[in-house]
Structure 1
C-alpha cells in the first residue's frame, strides 16, 4: 500500500515543470492526467492515461471527506461534457495539478471560484492508504490530515526552512505523525537546542531566509546599504566582506547604534593623503586643535587611535580633552593649576610670543608655545629645583643676548641710541 502523503510528496517534486499536452515526463513536460499516471506508477499503481478513464477508477469521495492521495476532477471545457482536468488532493483544501499550456505544475485551492464551479468529483484509488481506516469500501469522514508542507506553514515557517535545520526537521516529522497542534508544537520547539541557542531575531532571520527568500534578500541588501552609509559617515574603510558581516549582525542580532559603531570603529584608517574622513576626521581635527592649544605634541597614531575609540564609543571627547590637559599640566608644572582650571597654554605663552616676534623681527605665525625659547622660558627651574618661569624682562634680556638679535634693525637702532646718549653725556653732540 502506498501512503497518500508519499504520493503528494512525489508530486510536489514536479512543481514548476512546464505543461506539455500529452507529456509523460515528470521533469521536462507533463499534462494533468500524465502527472497523475506517472506519480502513481512510481508506487506500483497503474492508472489509465486520460482523465475520462481515470475518473472511473476507485470509488467516489465527497469533498469534505477527501484525504491526501485522492484524485479530484473538474469540467474545465464546457463545450465538451465530462471531466477534462484532474489533480492530486494534498489536504487542507488544496491540490496539485498541471493546469494548461503556459501554466506549469502548481498548487491550487478547491475554494477558488473557478474550481468550485467546475467540480465534478473526488475518487479514492485502490492501493492508497491513509491513517484513517476505511470500512466496507465506503469513505468515512475523518479530520483533515495535514502533511509536512501544510504543518510547516501552520507553524509559521516553510517546508524548506525545516529541512535546513536537522533538529527541527526531525521534530516536524514527529509532528506530522502525531498531527500536533500549535500549542504542542510550540512546547516541543522551545525545548530544542536550536531555540535555546538562537535569539528571537536570529530565529526570525533564519526563518525568513528559507520561507521568503525574496524578502530576505531585499532585507539583507537594505542592511548592506545602511552599513556602507554608516561606515562612510564614521570614516571607516571597510571591505565588502566586513560590510556584509555588519549587515548580517544588524539583521540577525538587531544591533543597536552603540554595537554598530563599536564594530565600525575597528576599521578607522587613514585614507588618501593620510587623512581621516567622517566622524573620525572631525574627531581628529578637534583632538589636534585641543593638543595645540595646550602645547602638547601628539603623534598621528595617537590621533588615529583616539578617533577610533571615540567612534567606537569607548571614550568621549571630554575624556580625551581631560587627558590632554593632564599632559599639559605635567609639561608646564609652573602653570599646572591654571591649566587644570581651564587655561590655554598658547594664551599663557602669548606675551612671550609677542616679545620674541618683536625683538627678533619674526612673523607672528612662526612663533607659538612650541618654540624652544618660549618653552624654555615657561619651564625654567629655579636654583632650588622648583618651577620658576622667566619674567618678561628676563625673557627680553635673554632674547637680546642671542646673536640673532644683534643682526636685527632693532639692535642697530638700540646701538645708535646708546651711542648718541654717550656722546651727549660727553658734550660732543
Structure 2
C-alpha cells in the first residue's frame, strides 16, 4: 500500500520542471498526466497514460473529502467534453500539477475560480492510503467558495452539477449567502422547476454525469452495448445516432424492456439480403407460413410492418394470424365456416391437389391453392350465385380436359377401355 503523503513528496521534487506536451520525465519535462503517471509509478502504481482514461480509475471522492494522493480532474477545454487536465491533491485545499505550456510544475488552490468552474471530480486510486486528518478537514477552510461545494455535497450533488443548472446555481448562491440549513436548502431544491419537471431517473443521471463522470461514462457504454445486442435480437437496424439515443433513454429515463422494444420496432428493416433478423425475422416467418396455409397473398412490406408491430407490442402474433384467417374466409366463402373453426384452406384443398397431381403426373409439392384449376374449384358458385365448391368428380373431369392429361402414359389405352365398356353396356360390344 502506497502512502498518499509519499506520492505528494515525490511530486514536490518536480516543482519547477517545465511543461512539455507528452513529457513523462523530470529531465525533459512533464505534461499533466505524464507528471501523475511518473509520481504514481515511483510508488509502484501503474495508471493509464491519458487524463480521459485516468478518470476511470479508483473511486469517486467529493471535494470536501479529498486526502493527499487523490487525483483531481478538470475540464479546461470547453470545445471538448470530458476531463482534459489532472493534478494530485496535497492537502489544505491545494493540488500540484503541470499546468500548461510556458509554466512549470506548480501548486494551485482548488478555491481559484478558474479551477472551481472547471471541476470534474476527484478519484481515490486503489492502493493509496492517507491520514484522513491530513486532507478533508483542511479542504473545507480554503475559501468561501468551497462552502458552496460542501453544501452541494450534503445533498449528494457536486459544484460542477450546480454550475450546469442555472436555476439551482442561484439557489446555491442564496444558500451560501444566507447560510441556509441543509433542511431549508433541500426544501428549496425540491420546490424548484428542475425537480418538478424531471423524473427521479433523469435527476440521478444528470447528477451522476457531473458528480461522477467516470461512472456515468461506464453506464452509458454499458447501455450502448445492451442497445446493440437488443437491436440484433429483435431485428432492428440502428444507426450510431439511434444507438446513442436509445442508450440515453435507458440511462436517463430508466426504460424497461417494453419501452426498448417499442423503440427498436420502429427500426425493423430488411438487411442487404432482403431478410429480417431476430424476433422480427421469426415473426415474419410465422406470418408468411400462416398466410400460405390460408391462401392469402401478402407483400414483403406488409410482412415487415406486421413483424415490426409485434416487436413494438402494438399487436400480437395471435391477432395477425386471426386477421389472415378472416381474409382467407373472405377469399374462399364456400369454406368460410371450416376456416373460422380453425381449418386451413391448404388442408381443405388437399383432395383437389391430389387429383391434379395424380391425373397430370406432377409432384404434389408443385400444386397448391394458388394453382388456377384448384382455385377455380374452390371458388365456384352455383346457379343462384352462392358459393359452392366443385365436387371431386366434376373436378376430375375438369382436369382431364387439360391437354396435358392426354399426354400421360396409359391414358389413351385407359380411354379406349372406357369407350369399350360404354359400348358393351349398350349391347354393342365386340
Deviation readout 1:359-406 (Å, 9 max, x if unpaired): 111111110111111111011011101001101001011111222222
Q: Which residue of 2 aligns with 1:214?
A: 214
Instruction: Please state how far the C-alpha of 1:113 moved relative to its aligned partner.
Output: 3.8
1:388 aligns with 388
Contact 1:284 1:303 in 2 (8 A): yes
Alignment match, 1:89: none
Q: 1:189-221: per-residue Cα shift (whole Å, max 9, x none)?
A: 122111111111000000000000000000000
Distance between the aligned counterparts of 1:355 and 1:362, measured in 2? Answer: 10
Does residue 144 of structure 2 align to residue 147 of structure 1? no
Matched, 1:299 2:296: no
Cα separation, 2, equivalents of 1:167 and 1:408: 90
| 2-structure distance, mates of 1:297, 1:100 | 73
Gaps of 5+ in 1: 1-17, 29-93, 131-144
- Paired residues in the alignment total 321
Partner of 1:409, secondary structure, is: coil
Question: Are the aligned partners of 2:15 and 2:106 in contact in 1 as well (CA < 8 Å)?
Answer: no
Give the corresponding residue for 2:262. Answer: 262
Given that 1:146 and 1:176 are in contact with CA atoms closer than 8 Å, whether structure 2 keeps it comes out as no
Q: How does 1:354-365 map to 2 (within 5 A)?
A: 354-365=354-365
Deviation of the 1:426 alpha carbon: 5.1
How far is the alpha carbon of 1:187 from its aligned partner? Answer: 1.0
Q: Does 1:401 align with 2:398?
A: no
Q: Where does residue 285 of structure 1 map in the other structure?
A: 285
Residue 317 (str. 1) matches residue 317 (str. 2)? yes
- Post-superposition offset of 1:419: 5.2
In structure 2, C-alpha distance between the alignment counterparts of 1:421 and 1:288, rounded to whole Å: 49
Q: Distance in 1 between matches of 2:16 and 2:291?
A: 82
State the alpha-carbon separation in 1 of the partners of residues 323 and 268 from structure 2: 21
Q: Provide Cα deviations, 1:111-170, integer angstroms capped at 9, x if missing partner.
A: x648669x9x9xx9xxx998xxxxxxxxxxxxxx96111111112111111001111111
**Which secondary structure does the structure 2 equivalent of 1:238 belong to?**
coil
What does residue 346 of structure 1 align with? 346
CA separation of 1:186 and 1:417: change in aligned 2, threshold 3 A: same
Give SS of 1:412's match. helix
SS of 1:304 mapped into structure 2: helix
What residue number does 2:245 align with? 245
**Which residue of structure 1 lines up, in the alignment, with residue 332 of structure 2?**
332
Task: Give the equivalent residue in structure 2 for 1:85.
Answer: none
- Does the alignment pair 1:95 with 2:89? no
Deviations 1:210-249 (A, max 9, x none): 0000000000000000000000000000011101100100
Which residue is equivalent to 1:168?
168
Question: How much has 1:346 moved relative to structure 2?
Answer: 0.5
Whether the 8 Å contact between 1:19 and 1:98 is mirrored in structure 2 is no
Residues 116 and 98 from structure 1, CA distance in 2 versus in 1: closer, same or farther, beyond 3 angstroms? closer
CA-to-aligned-CA distance 1:41-96 (integer Å, 9 cap, x gap) = xxxxxxxxxxxxxxxxxxxxxxxxxxxxxxxxxxxxxxxxxxxxxxxxxxxxx722
Structure 1 contact 359–410 (Cα < 8 Å) conserved:
no
Residue-by-residue CA offset, 1:281-313 (whole Å, 9 max, x unaligned): 000000001111111111111100000000000
Cα separation, partners in 2 of 1:289 and 1:21, compared to 1, 3 Å: closer
Structure 2: runs of 5 or more not aligned: 1-10, 22-90, 99-104, 111-121, 123-129
Distance 1:129 1:398 in 2: 103
Rounded to whole Å, the distance in 2 between the matches of 1:100 and 1:211 is 21
Aligned partner of 1:191 in structure 2 is 191
For residue 103 of structure 1, report the CA deviation from its aligned partner: 9.4
Structure 1's 176 and 420: CA in aligned 2 closer, same or farther, altered over 3 A?
A: same
Normalised to the residue count of structure 1, the TM-score between the two structures is: 0.68
TM-score scaled by length of structure 2: 0.68
Q: How far apart, CA to CA, are the structure 1 residues paired with 2:353 and 2:132?
A: 95
Say if 1:114 and 1:405 are closer, same or farther in 2 by CA, change over 3 A.
closer
